[in-house]
Amino acid sequence: MKEKKNNRLKWLTVRVSEAEYAAIQKQFQQTTERKLSSYARNILLGKPMIAEVRDASLQEVISILIHMQKDFNGVANNYNQMVHKLHISDTKAELKAWIALYEREKVKLFFHMETINDYVKKTSKKWLL
């Protein structure tokens, strides 16, 4: 059974002064909410808000590690495409030796990528709790 989508079709516009906006931003940044719209919706609907419990110093580390993880995944994808093209090309003795060399390098690359992925997941879990 499909769940019913909760489309938000109605707009609510609120005008605030610079001082009010600064106060709202300050309170918003002290919560775990990521979007100001979600924060405002929860406040207006009287839902409980969770104060920030994350280690703020880890936030930059997490964003960098996630960026590294995406970069490594892209490198692995490109590497796989390259090796695939080599496998379907004309096979000569030199080409076979080249493929064997790069297959070993691929194993090393994937090992390091898996290590980084595991570290990012472990650190993310610790950070998100």
- Tell me: the pLDDT tens digits for 30-50? 887 888 988 899 888 888 877
Same-domain status, 48 and 62: no
Ranges 18-22, 51-55, 78-82, 105-109, most confident: 18-22
Same-domain status, 49 and 87: no
CA end-to-end span of the chain, whole Å?
32
Distance CA 121, CA 23 (A): 34
Same-domain status, 124 and 64: yes
Name residue, tokens 């919560």.
31
Average pLDDT over all residues of the chain: 79
Domain count of the chain?
2
Query: What's the domain range around 123?
Result: 56-128
Write the pLDDT tens digit of every residue in 69-123: 887 787 777 777 777 777 777 667 767 767 776 787 788 788 878 888 888 787 7
